[in-house]
């Protein structure tokens, strides 16, 4: 520590005391409260009189919500169209079900169904049977 360090600290303390006023008195605080109330009363009175209804809230947001709703509707329509176009037109297991029904109704031998279940070329054969005549 230097011997001159305490002098600038005293000058700094005096400068800070000049900038920082003393604690306000109760009269000063009461005057501040009266000024705040006087300036806030007209604003608060308008808010109390005009209690907003739900449609006023919706009307205030309409410039944002309407385009957002239109965009969401358009996006949903595109997704629905895309998902319906992406689906296959026939059922995935239609040949298997048809072959099983043909075996159950004795239109095709049961060994054809076993071949169909175990082997892809047999599946093509049974699919040919499904499309054409069984016997």
Alpha helices in 1-135 (DSSP H): 6-19, 26-49, 54-86, 94-104, 110-118, 120-131
pTM reported for the whole predicted model:
0.31
pLDDT digits (tens, 9 = 90+) for 20-40: 777 888 998 999 999 999 999
**Domains of the chain, residue spans:** 24-86, 94-131
pLDDT digits (tens, 9 = 90+) for 58-91: 888 888 989 999 999 999 999 998 888 776 665 5
Res 49 pLDDT > 90? no
The answer to whether 89 touches 110, Cβ cutoff 8 Å, is: no
Distances (CA, A) of 99 to 42, 105, 118: 84, 10, 13
Average model confidence (pLDDT) for the chain?
77
Give the pLDDT of residue 90: 56
């Amino acid at each position: 520590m230097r011997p001159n360090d305490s002098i600038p600290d005293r000058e700094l303390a005096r400068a800070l005391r000049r900038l920082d006023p003393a604690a306000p008195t109760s009269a000063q605080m009461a005057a501040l409260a009266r000024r705040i109330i006087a300036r806030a009363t007209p604003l608060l009175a308008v808010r109390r009189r005009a209690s907003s209804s739900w449609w006023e809230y919706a009307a205030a947001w309409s410039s944002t919500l309407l385009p957002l709703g239109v965009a969401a509707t358009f996006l949903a329509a595109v997704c629905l169209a895309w998902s319906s176009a992406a689906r296959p037109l026939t059922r995935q297991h239609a040949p298997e079900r048809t072959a099983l029904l043909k075996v159950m109704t004795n239109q095709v031998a049961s060994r054809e169904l076993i071949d169909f279940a175990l082997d892809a070329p047999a599946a093509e054969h049974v699919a040919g049977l499904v499309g054409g005549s069984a016997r």
